[in-house]
Amino acid sequence: MTRLYDDPHRFTDDMLEGFLDVHRGSVVGVPGGVVRAHQTPADKVAVVVGGGSGHYPAFCGVVGHGFADGAVVGNIFTSPSAEDAYEVGRAAASGAGLLFSTGNYAGDVMNFTLAQKRLADEGVDTRVVFVTDDVASAPVEEKHKRRGIAGDFVVFKVAGAAAEERYDLDGVERVARLANDRTRTLGVAFAGCTMPGADEPLFTVPDRRMGVGLGIHGEPGVGEDELPRAAVLAQRLVEGVLAERPPGSGPKVGAILNGLGTTKYEELFVVWRTVSRLLAEQGLEVVEPEVGELVTSLDMAGCSLTLVYLDDELERLWRAPAQTPAYRKGAAQPSAAPLRSTQHTTLPDAPAATLVPGSEASQRCARVVVAALEAMQGELVGHEEELGRIDAVAGDGDHGRGMAKGISAAVDAAREAVARGSGAATVLGAAGDSWAARAGGTSGVLWGAALRSFGARLSDQAQPAPADVAAAARAGLEAIQRLGEAKPGDKTMVDAFLPFVDALDESLRDGVGLAEAWTGAADLSAEAAVATAALRPRLGRARPLAERSVGTPDAGATSFALCVRAVAPFLATTP
Amino acid sequence: MTRLYDDPHRFTDDMLEGFLDVHRGSVVGVPGGVVRAHQTPADKVAVVVGGGSGHYPAFCGVVGHGFADGAVVGNIFTSPSAEDAYEVGRAAASGAGLLFSTGNYAGDVMNFTLAQKRLADEGVDTRVVFVTDDVASAPVEEKHKRRGIAGDFVVFKVAGAAAEERYDLDGVERVARLANDRTRTLGVAFAGCTMPGADEPLFTVPDRRMGVGLGIHGEPGVGEDELPRAAVLAQRLVEGVLAERPPGSGPKVGAILNGLGTTKYEELFVVWRTVSRLLAEQGLEVVEPEVGELVTSLDMAGCSLTLVYLDDELERLWRAPAQTPAYRKGAAQPSAAPLRSTQHTTLPDAPAATLVPGSEASQRCARVVVAALEAMQGELVGHEEELGRIDAVAGDGDHGRGMAKGISAAVDAAREAVARGSGAATVLGAAGDSWAARAGGTSGVLWGAALRSFGARLSDQAQPAPADVAAAARAGLEAIQRLGEAKPGDKTMVDAFLPFVDALDESLRDGVGLAEAWTGAADLSAEAAVATAALRPRLGRARPLAERSVGTPDAGATSFALCVRAVAPFLATTP
């Protein structure tokens, strides 16, 4: 929701004051809105856009070179007055005439038309183009009734670029109308936006549903549907927009995948992946697509797909450079360096590791290692959700996922190494490297280092003695303490690992067999993991969100205890 | 919340695929992340940034000229692996060495340090700078423990600009450390973000509260507080950041007011308004501030203020041009046109209206008009909330506010015109113009036109006869029908206005006195307004959100009925 304001009634004025301060030097305020800081050249048509505010970067954010000369700024979602439009038009216009362009909403149509008449009466040749890109707002035979949504951006951009090229007023109006005729948008909404000072959103969409064809203020669309996967949404948007391909249009399209405010960049890129593929399948060539927030609606959740079918002229204007507070295009600094080949690196290749086969005894031992890792995999994958839940109390809930991903990569690498005839040390090293590389994150690097260090204390020749295994376990512990700098009591994996290693050592010194000693140590480790629930974690960079986790065991300690318990049965097979 | 994904486990891969498709030609994918599409020149230090994803534009969005050479891309909020960092480092590095920079999080520190060692072993001179700008994450004497948040952007930008200027590796590392030492950030959060596929947000902040000093993944901060007004929040952010002004720093600062994802541009500009004033009061000169979304956390709500204390070198690097997928800086097209003077318009002034005083009779009548308008004002201001509630069913809930604003402007203008000796026609015209200009929106332009047309049928000389008043009312109706193109039954103000005018005409024809006729017509109008609840509005541009309003009376018809009822008592004073 919209949370930050001083006086909600003055929100637009306050917003403009901040905007003009940030972008001083490139834009200035005038009664009713904003114009470029530099005067309009006498031979240049002025393009003035506008509408209600709450749509940033639209509309004041696109005042600048190659785009608008001015923006009329109404209150949130409210048409500016005819007086506002008149004043901004007067401030922006020079000697070559004026084009107003705005979305096709009742208030905007009335006010901009009145301003046009008044300016015409004063001798300023003024035209108005209303944008009607929203295919969901009226059937195609009533295209003149359609709303303007993200297609505003296309029409304003094309008109602005044409004016910058010194088209005359007839020419600017012509390409603006052409761009509008060739622009189609379909949008969906997942949640409504909140007006500054309001307690409730302007409209709501039921959970896990989406409004199809909703306008940028929540105006009615063509229906409501279940919220689909990103790929399915992409398909619906593409199908909806392509349903009205203008006759005679060529293969080139400009495209905008627009986020309405809280549907974020990462999500838009996921959707775009499929949009791009589907458009290519239709034989369309996408020219300089835009994926981001261009025409928002405060904190509304949703997105829209806009296509503009380009002829050569529209393509040139779509590609033309622009420099505005919120939108820039065109190579400021073209690179002279050559493009990369598919082999991206510019460094010589790293030397490949030479493969040394293990002894027969160590190869046997390596197969036991693989079986033990597989047992860990079963345990970790089986507890993935539970580990995620525990982790979510203190972290981002991905511990279970990270461990499952890591152990699976480790098992794959270990199997491959065994198939190549490697001994136990090499197999554990390969498993550790793969775990760290594929899982990433903190647990990945720690487990990777632990396995590699564990393996490094064994060899590819001799069968390890029980004392070797205990020393290897301690080497693993030391590796993660070195990397993670965690001390006992910090509520980390160390709190389960340290008692395990101590108990293993002690039992072996007391003459207990390896399998029994490991099992006993694993039981102690499990108790220690449970006991971490009582610990208050050390704050700092190592433990994000940690303060909240008091009362919940540490996820890293818990998964450690699961692993050593899973491995226990395989120790019986070593002497 | 995060709603759009295909397989949540593949979210980062899918996101990268879309990102690389959109920005093909400027960036390419490599194992572990992204590098520029052009090779790194042999004499240029490579700057590779990174960390977990979910922070777009950070980090892959800032790979390009003047900024990063590559970005290591981990899973959402998860450190990339050492292998990932190694691979991107190898792909980006040329012959002049490599600087890694990342936020100071445990996983990133371990993984980037391991990658640094591996690259150094292979002969690539590699340095790592961890960003520690978050003042809330540790006390100043433990600055090395602090997290990196939006200050990442400053350090990466400065390092990237220095590398572009062909600083050597020592130099790039030096300015990166200098920028980090001089950068301070304080953030607040209002709501947590949702991981792709999760049902619940990662953390929550109670309604109307804010977490102060929260990290970008919701890590603990310094406390919780009531959500304040924007100006108060600005003050807390400024005070928090300025509390640690580095000794010996000069008056110049770079600044970032960063939105975390769902705290939108308009809100940020409102906060910036006060931030800018407070910094100026402290004698600080802000250089090229950035207000927008630079380091986000999916759909988290919140913002942060970053200041970097600039010396001449840092100022040059902060101002340096950059061209990346998500961030561009520098004049692509410097304007040769002169800057505007404070008198912005380039057109000759419009001729001022000449003031014609009204007759004494018409001046008396004009005073009655003012009293009637004041009565309307009382009624509309008194019903502002109720009208807003009715309007919220079908529109954006601002009808009450718009009417209150409009009538207040009309009353002021009418009083001023009366004070200048104007007659009834001029006073009504001035009232209408002011209503339209100050209120904006649809109701503003319609009421403005209605009052002006009403006045135009009267004169500034003669006292109007009852038939003149009826004709004036019909002229007002016709004006709004002409402008709004609404027909009876469309569920608009016309549905209350038309029966009013018809009834008024009929009663006067039947010989009823004006006051009685008006009162009767007003009663009928009120009934008609209530009856609009049964109407299904005509869809289309004129009636956003209208479909939902069945069962609720039309707000415009309701406020019309309130107005004519309020005016009725004043008709008795005309003959």
CA-based nearest residue in chain A for residue B87: A345
With 50 as the cut, is the pLDDT of residue A370 above it?
yes
B402 contact residues in A (CB cutoff 8 A): 78
CB A401 within 8 A of CB B11: no
Neighbours of B360 (CB within 10 A): 12
User: What's the CA gap between B186 and B177, in Å, rounded?
Assistant: 19
Q: Which helix (H) or strand (E) holds A261?
A: none
Phi, psi (deg, nearest 5) at residue A290: -115, 125
User: What's the CA gap between B386 and B373, in Å, rounded?
Assistant: 20
Compare B354 and A92 and report the one with higher pLDDT: A92
Q: Which residues contact A117 (CB under 8 A, 6 or more apart)?
A: none
* pLDDT above 90 as % of chain A: 80
Q: Which helix (H) or strand (E) holds B564?
A: helix B555-571
Query: What is the residue whose two structure tokens read 């295919």?
Result: A135
Query: What is the residue whose two structure tokens read 């030609």?
Result: B25
Indicate yes or no: CB of B398 within 8 angstroms of CB of A77.
Answer: yes
Q: Which of B90, B104, B402 lies closest to A345 in CB terms?
A: B90
Confidence of residue A337 (pLDDT cuts 50, 70, 90): confident
B203 and B315 co-located in one domain: yes
CB B410 within 8 A of CB B369: no
Q: How far is B509 from chain A (nearest CA, A)?
A: 34
B108 and B16 co-located in one domain: yes
3-state secondary structure of B299: strand
Residue A575 confidence (pLDDT): 42
Q: What are the tokens at A103?
A: 């979305």
CB A413 within 8 A of CB A443: no
User: What's the CA gap between A388 and A394, in Å, rounded?
Assistant: 10
A230 and A175 co-located in one domain: yes
Q: Which helix (H) or strand (E) holds B51?
A: strand B46-53
Exposure string over A451-470, b if 16+ CB within 10 A, otherwise e? bbbbbbbbbbeebbebebbb
**Cα-based torsion angle of the residue sequence B10, B12, B14, B16 in order, rounded to the nearest 10 degrees:** -150
Q: Which amino acid is at B360?
A: E
B223 and B309 co-located in one domain: yes
A40 contact residues in B (CB cutoff 8 A): 337, 346
Averaged over A61-72, what is the pLDDT?
97
Which of B344, B434, B547 to mutate: most A Cβ within 10 Å?
B344
Q: Which sign does the torsion angle of CA A284, A287, A293, A296 carry? A: negative
The domain boundary, picked from A326, A347, A376, lies at A326
Exposure string over A374-383, b if 16+ CB within 10 A, otherwise e? bbbbebbeeb
A511 and A378 co-located in one domain: yes
Q: Which of B264, B273, B323 lies closest to A333 in CB terms?
A: B323
CB B34 within 8 A of CB B49: no
A195 contact residues in B (CB cutoff 8 A): 396-398
A108 and A204 co-located in one domain: yes
User: What's the CA gap between B157 and B401, in Å, rounded?
Assistant: 45
Closest by CA position to B344, among listed A27, A495, A444: A27
CB B380 within 8 A of CB B407: yes
Closest by CA position to B19, among listed B268, B325, B434, B295: B325
B28 contact residues in A (CB cutoff 8 A): 340, 344
Length of chain B, in residues: 575
Q: How would DSSP label each residue in B349-361?
A: PPPPPPP-PPPHH
User: What's the CA gap between A59 and A160, in Å, rounded?
Assistant: 13
Per-residue pLDDT reduced to its tens digit, A112-159: 999 999 999 999 999 999 999 999 999 999 999 999 999 999 999 999
Phi, psi (deg, nearest 5) at residue B166: 70, 30
The structural domain count of chain A equals 2
Note down the domain range covering A550. 360-571
* B 499-538 residues inside an 8 A Cβ radius of A: none
3-state secondary structure of A415: helix
Q: What is the CATH number of the domain that holds B305?
A: 3.40.50.10440
Which of A344, A349, A408, A483 to mutate: most B Cβ within 10 Å?
A344
With 90 as the cut, is the pLDDT of residue A372 above it?
yes
Per DSSP (E only), the strands in B501-573 are none
User: What's the CA gap between B445 and A268, in Å, rounded?
Assistant: 38
A448 contact residues in B (CB cutoff 8 A): 81-82
Q: Which of B22, B217, B345 lies closest to A272 in CB terms?
A: B22
B222 and B321 co-located in one domain: yes
Q: Is residue A414 part of a domain?
A: yes
User: What's the CA gap between A528 and A538, in Å, rounded?
Assistant: 17
Indicate yes or no: CB of A4 within 8 angstroms of CB of B105.
Answer: no
Exposure string over A148-187, b if 16+ CB within 10 A, otherwise e? bbbbbbbbbbbbbbbbbbebbbebbbbbbbbbbebbbbbb
Compare A200 and A299 and report the one with higher pLDDT: A299
Phi, psi (deg, nearest 5) at residue B284: -90, 145
Indicate yes or no: CB of A340 within 8 angstroms of CB of B28.
Answer: yes
Q: What is the DSSP letter of A458?
A: S
B546 contact residues in A (CB cutoff 8 A): 219-220
CB B132 within 8 A of CB B104: yes
Q: Which of B16, B202, B442 lies closest to A396 in CB terms?
A: B202
User: What's the CA gap between A351 and A368, in Å, rounded?
Assistant: 30
Q: Which helix (H) or strand (E) holds A253?
A: strand A252-259
| Residue B318 touches chain A, beta carbons under 8 Å | no
B213 and B279 co-located in one domain: yes
Indicate yes or no: CB of A323 within 8 angstroms of CB of B331.
Answer: yes
CB A146 within 8 A of CB A132: yes
Q: Is residue B355 part of a domain?
A: no
Q: Is residue A512 part of a domain?
A: yes
Q: Which sign does the torsion angle of CA A73, A74, A78, A83 carry? A: negative
Q: Which residues contact B527 (CB under 8 A, 6 or more apart)?
A: none
Indicate yes or no: CB of A145 within 8 angstroms of CB of B547.
Answer: no
B298 contact residues in A (CB cutoff 8 A): 264, 266
User: What's the CA gap between A449 and A443, in Å, rounded?
Assistant: 10
A304 contact residues in B (CB cutoff 8 A): none
Q: Which helix (H) or strand (E) holds A101?
A: strand A98-103
B303 and B370 co-located in one domain: no
Q: What is the CATH number of the domain that holds A544?
A: 1.25.40.340
Residue B289 confidence (pLDDT): 98
Residue B571 confidence (pLDDT): 86
CA-based nearest residue in chain B for residue A7: B229
A344 included as an active-site residue = no
Q: What are the tokens at A352?
A: 């490949």
CB B411 within 8 A of CB B566: no
* A 81-120 residues inside an 8 A Cβ radius of B: 81-84, 90-91, 93-94, 104-107, 109-111, 114
The domain boundary, picked from A326, A341, A373, lies at A326
CB-side exposure of A487: number of CA atoms within 13 Å? Answer: 3
Bond from prior residue into B454 cis (ω within 30 degrees of 0): no
Averaged over A95-107, what is the pLDDT?
95
Q: Which residues contact A232 (CB under 8 A, 6 or more apart)?
A: none
Q: Is residue A1 part of a domain?
A: no
Q: Is residue A88 part of a domain?
A: yes
Per-residue pLDDT reduced to its tens digit, B403-456: 999 999 999 999 999 999 999 999 999 999 999 988 888 899 999 999 999 999
Residue B575 confidence (pLDDT): 42
Residue A112 confidence (pLDDT): 96
Q: How far is A368 from chain B (nearest CA, A)?
A: 27
B340 contact residues in A (CB cutoff 8 A): 28, 35-39
CB-side exposure of A438: number of CA atoms within 13 Å? Answer: 20
CB B504 within 8 A of CB B467: no
How many distinct helices (H) and strands (E) make up chain B? 17, 14
Q: Helices in A223-336 by DSSP H: which ranges?
A: 230-242, 265-281, 312-319
A111 contact residues in B (CB cutoff 8 A): 436, 440, 445
A441 contact residues in B (CB cutoff 8 A): 52, 74-75, 78-79, 81, 107
Closest by CA position to A443, among listed A559, A340, A526: A559
Q: What is the 3-state secondary structure (H, E, C) of A311-353?
A: CHHHHHHHHCCEECCCCEECCCCCCCCCECCCCCCCCCCCCCC
Q: How far is B565 from chain A (nearest CA, A)?
A: 26
User: What's the CA gap between A4 and A6, in Å, rounded?
Assistant: 7
Mean of pLDDT over chain A: 91
* B 428-447 residues inside an 8 A Cβ radius of A: 433, 436-442, 444-446
Per-residue pLDDT reduced to its tens digit, B72-107: 999 999 999 999 999 999 999 998 999 999 999 989
User: What's the CA gap between A377 and A372, in Å, rounded?
Assistant: 9
Residue A540 confidence (pLDDT): 43
**Cα-based torsion angle of the residue sequence A452, A458, A460, A461 in order, rounded to the nearest 10 degrees:** 180
Rounded to whole angstroms, what are the CA distances from B92 to A338, B18, B65, B67, B89?
Answer: 14, 21, 13, 13, 5
Which of A267, A274, A433, A434 to mutate: most B Cβ within 10 Å?
A267
Nearest 5°: CA angle at B317, between B311 and B319? 100
Flag residues of chain B having pLDDT under 50. 540-546, 575
Residue B548 confidence (pLDDT): 63
Nearest 5°: CA angle at B295, between B293 and B298? 85
Q: What are the tokens at A78?
A: 């409210």
| Residue A224 touches chain B, beta carbons under 8 Å | no
CA-based nearest residue in chain A for residue B439: A81
Q: Is residue B348 part of a domain?
A: no
Indicate yes or no: CB of B321 within 8 angstroms of CB of A301.
Answer: no
Given B65, B217, B383, B399, the catalytic residue:
B217
| Residue A222 touches chain B, beta carbons under 8 Å | no
Q: What are the tokens at A26?
A: 């490139």
Q: How far is B411 from chain A (nearest CA, A)?
A: 18
With 80 as the cut, is the pLDDT of residue A570 above it?
yes
The domain boundary, picked from B302, B327, B352, lies at B327
User: What's the CA gap between A319 and B199, in Å, rounded?
Assistant: 41
Per-residue pLDDT reduced to its tens digit, A201-255: 888 899 999 999 988 888 878 888 999 999 999 999 999 999 999 988 999 999 9
User: What's the CA gap between A360 and A370, in Å, rounded?
Assistant: 15
User: What's the CA gap between A428 and A455, in Å, rounded?
Assistant: 5
A322 and A365 co-located in one domain: no
* A 367-426 residues inside an 8 A Cβ radius of B: 392, 396-398, 401-402, 405
Q: Is residue B336 part of a domain?
A: no
**Model ipTM?**
0.90
> How many beta-carbon contacts under 8 Å exist across A and B?
452
Compare A355 and A318 and report the one with higher pLDDT: A318
Q: Which of B227, B344, B542 lies closest to A106 in CB terms?
A: B542
Nearest 5°: CA angle at A294, between A327 and B191? 115
| Residue A287 touches chain B, beta carbons under 8 Å | no
A49 and A180 co-located in one domain: yes
Q: Is residue A3 part of a domain?
A: no
Q: What are the tokens at B390?
A: 């009715």
A266 and A381 co-located in one domain: no
Q: What are the tokens at B86?
A: 């190694």
Using CB atoms within 10 Å of the CB of residue A527, give its burial: 0 to 12 exposed, 13 to 18 middle, 19+ buried. Answer: exposed
Least confident of A382-391, A522-531, B313-322: A382-391
Given A23, A55, A65, A217, the catalytic residue:
A217
